[in-house]
Structure 1
Amino acid sequence: MSEPMRIALLYALFCAVAIGVNIGSQDLALRLWSSGIWFSIFVGTGTGLVVKYILDKRFIFRFTPQNVGHDSRTFVLYTLMGVVTTAIFWGFEYGFWLAFGTARMRYLGGVTGLVVGYVAKYHLDKKFVFSVSLPTRHL
């Protein structure tokens, strides 16, 4: 299997894992707390972000931070690249909620927004977050 194909398949798998964590965390938050949709979206976004960062840095970009500070700065940059893509995700999810008014359609909007956002995020991360580490990859 070629390296680009391996990366594409792993990235798709990790997106699916992060989507599952995100949507599952949202559902759990709604069941445990009566704080509303925005709280559940925030919880899902946070859990999905952490899972995706761990998988991406290790298996997609093969990034080994120099120390905790370096890893923290990289995570902050990774998170900043996700601001635009998170807006895409939230916009789709909330838009589906407003348009259809059901939890299933809201989740479908969330999944759709996550897929669109993850495609954009890969390119942003490759160019701005992990580009410095690409020449010196470590497993």
Structure 2
Amino acid sequence: MTLRVLLIRYAAFAVIATFGNLLTQRAVLLGGQGAAWFALAVAAGTLVGLVIKYLLDKQWIFQDNSTGLRAHGQKFTLYTVMGLVTTAIFWGTETAFWLTWRTDLMREAGAVIGLAVGYVVKYQLDRRFVFPDARLRQAA
């Protein structure tokens, strides 16, 4: 796979997962309002987005053909842990920009920068720890 194809797919899958996350949040919030509903919406949206991105990345980015509950469970757990690391980058950058400039524009700029850096780091972590065999296929 060329770098261009990789970047296009990875970005497209991020957008698809984001839409899945947000649509799930909206659906949950149809059930009610308040802090508990908000927390449920965020949790459900995050889970849906994570599953979508995992399945797309597994097949179309890393061409991982492993099957079975054990293989999926182990890889999905590692994929989730790598996501926690990169989410910290995203939230940290967004927060740092907010604390420094105290404007929505700069907070959003920090979010975009943090998200971009987070996705680059996430790809590298996933390639190394979650789908290590993919490195051989991509180099070929």
Q: Residue 78 of structure 2 aligns with which residue?
A: 77
CA contact (8 A) 2:127 2:134 kept: no
CA contact (8 A) 1:15 1:115 kept: no
CA contact (8 A) 1:22 1:47 kept: yes
Q: Residue 28 of structure 2 aligns with which residue?
A: 29
TM-score, normalised to structure 1, is: 0.72
Q: What does residue range 1-139 of structure 1 map to in structure 2 within 5 Å? A: 3-32=2-31, 34-36=34-36, 39=39, 40-89=41-90, 112=112, 114-135=115-136
- Distance in 1, matches of 2:22 and 2:94, equals 11
Taking only aligned residues, the RMSD between alpha carbons, in angstroms, comes to 3.5
CA contact (8 A) 1:30 1:36 kept: no
Seq. identity, %:
38
Q: Which amino acid aligns with 2:28?
A: A
- Which of structures 1 and 2 has the larger relative contact order (alpha carbons within 8 angstroms, sep 6+)? 1
Q: Which amino acid aligns with 1:21?
A: G
CA contact (8 A) 2:79 2:126 kept: yes
Structure 2 stretches of 5 or more lacking a match? none
TM-score, normalised to structure 2, is: 0.71
Instruction: Mark the CA change 1:119 to 1:136 in structure 2 (over 3 Å): closer, same or farther.
Output: closer
CA contact (8 A) 2:82 2:126 kept: yes
1:114-139 per-residue CA deviation (whole Å, 9 max, x = no partner) reads 444323211211121111344368xx
Q: Which amino acid aligns with 1:77?
A: L
Q: How many residues align?
A: 132
1:59-101 per-residue CA deviation (whole Å, 9 max, x = no partner) reads 00000114321121111111111111233455678899xx789
Greater alpha carbon shift after TM alignment, 71-80 vs 28-37: 28-37
- Distance in 1, matches of 2:52 and 2:42, equals 15
Instruction: Mark the CA change 1:94 to 1:17 in structure 2 (over 3 Å): closer, same or farther.
Output: farther
CA contact (8 A) 1:63 1:133 kept: yes
- Distance in 2, matches of 1:64 and 1:6, equals 19
